[in-house]
Amino acid sequence: MNEKNQILDAYDTAFHAAAAGLPGSGTDWATSLRHDAMAGFRASGFPTRRDEAWRYTNLTPLQKRPYLAATSANEITGIERADLPRRDMDGARIVMVNGRFDETLSDLGPLDGSLTFMSLARALDEKPELVEPYLVGETGEDGIRRLNTALMADGSVIILPAGARPELPLEILYLNSAGENAAAHIRNLVVLEAGASLDLIETCRDTSGNGSAFWSNIVSTMVVGEGASLNHHQIQTIGSEALLSAAANVRVAEGGHYSNFVLTAGGLVTRNEIHILLQGRDAQATLDGLCLARAGQSLANVTIVEHQSPAASSKQRYKSILQARASAAFLGKVVVARDAQHSEAHQASDSLLLGEGATANAKPELLIHADDVKCSHGATVGALDKAALFYLNSRGLDPAAAKEVLVTAFAEEILECISLAPWRQIIRAEIAGWMRDGEKVSSQ
């Protein structure tokens, strides 16, 4: 038996051992959904670099050993309130530890009265009819999502009724404290009914500080109703050995707007995938991302935006800053359907290489079936401008300060689009911290 099969068998065995205890096990549709997904995973295995969409994702860690969901709901995680990252914004916070909702660490007091929150585990056990329409038929398009469907242990179900517009943002914080090669399969469901609006923050952090090889596998389904507006902000600063695969399936109805900003600044491998269906007229998507990659890291943003109705618009801007021997990729596909006339789709990706052996890949892909559309894409990969560096030096900035000014300016352009002001400050601080750490690493 080869290594690949041994690994798949390990997942299969773990699944069958755990299945009866997984949430929703008392419900037929949930049980068969999980079993179908596991059978699908067993047949497909993990994606490989031969799959075009996965070509630039480092899958080696997943192919070398199984990452098993070792934690159970009542396990003591060892994380206390004092360990939580400082809050820089008001609003409610949902805390997931090792992939499970932790009510005592969460801060649900400020939760807006109009908003329904329930953990996925509870929803599957107590109100399966609430989540059924969003889960059935969603076994996943690849091995990683299939595994998520089979093993999903918890997540957040967030529902906003028509017209509800909470003022404060809602944060979901993911923390990991489990041992080596553990995994969390998280499934979220965010539904905004017509005219609703929400600032949703997702923060992935490593609190252990020991950089354990933990795999977070997060799949989210997001539904943006007519005229609704979901501002989705993500910050990903996981440990140096950790893996993160985050996938969001987003549907946007007429006049709705989904916006996403993701800062990725950690992990051995981080892959963000967003698949958006602009289903209604005038539906909009605004996607921005900044990757800060260090040596040995492999970070990727993958987007698929499907314009399915007339006058829908999408705008994407991704940037990456890479230290020596780091790798970052942007794969962006835009599909404009035949009757999605007057669509507007713009896409740009820029990468800044700061050291030897850094690799940036950009793969824009436009499939346009309508004839009256405005679409554009552009990609740049380059090093710091030597003329600009000398200009700054000649004005008195030492080489490190000149570099910091130029790198910050490169990042700053993408921060301008962040509407949530405190969030912009948080991102700025993350970038400054990353640059300082980078200097330490490179000067050692």
Partner 1 sequence: MSGNNKAMLVVKGLHARVGDVEILKGIDLEIGAGETHAIMGPNGAGKSTLANVLCGRPGYEITAGEVSLNGKDLLALAPHERAGEGLFLGFQYPVEIPGVSNMNFLRTALNSLKKYRGEEEMDAASFLKMLRAAAADLKMAPEMLKRAVNQDFSGGEKKRNEMLQMAVLDPIMAVLDETDSGLDIDALKIVADGINAFRGPEKAVLLITHYQRLLDYVVPDQVHVMIDGRIVRSGDKELAKELEEKGYAEVA
Residue closer to partner 1 (CB basis): 29 or 390: 390
* Shortest Å, Cβ 287 to partner 1: 20
* Shortest Å, Cβ 380 to partner 1: 12
* Shortest Å, Cβ 388 to partner 1: 5
Between CA 65 and CA 68 the distance in angstroms is 9
* Shortest Å, Cβ 399 to partner 1: 7
Between CA 164 and CA 264 the distance in angstroms is 30
SS3 251: strand
Residue closer to partner 1 (CB basis): 108 or 388: 388
* Shortest Å, Cβ 116 to partner 1: 42
* Shortest Å, Cβ 382 to partner 1: 13
Residues that bind partner 1 (CB under 8 A): 385-388, 390-399, 401-402, 405-406, 408-410, 412-413
Q: Exposed, middle or buried by CB within 10 Å (0-12, 13-18, 19+), for 361? A: middle
- Kindly list the distances between the CA atom of residue 252 and the CA atoms of 90, 163, 306, 346, 351, in Å, as whole numbers in the listed order: 27, 16, 10, 18, 29
Task: Name the residue type at position 107.
Answer: D
Helices (H), 81-193: 120-126, 128-135, 143-151
The pair of structure tokens assigned to 413 is 């352009």
Residue closer to partner 1 (CB basis): 5 or 393: 393
Residue closer to partner 1 (CB basis): 109 or 396: 396
* Shortest Å, Cβ 407 to partner 1: 10
Residue closer to partner 1 (CB basis): 370 or 417: 417
* Shortest Å, Cβ 395 to partner 1: 4
Between CA 349 and CA 328 the distance in angstroms is 11
Backbone φ, ψ for residue 132 (5° rounding)? -50, -50
The rounded radius of gyration (Å) of the Cα atoms in the chain is 21
Residue that has been written with the tokens 């798949």 in this structure: 8
Residue closer to partner 1 (CB basis): 243 or 322: 322
Closest CA to 66 of 121, 136, 15, 120: 15
Residue closer to partner 1 (CB basis): 81 or 386: 386
Between CA 120 and CA 71 the distance in angstroms is 16
Q: Are 317 and 286 in contact (CB under 8 A)?
A: no
Q: Which helix (H) or strand (E) holds 124?
A: helix 120-126
Residue closer to partner 1 (CB basis): 387 or 421: 387
- Parallel, antiparallel or unpaired: strands 116-119 and 156-160: antiparallel
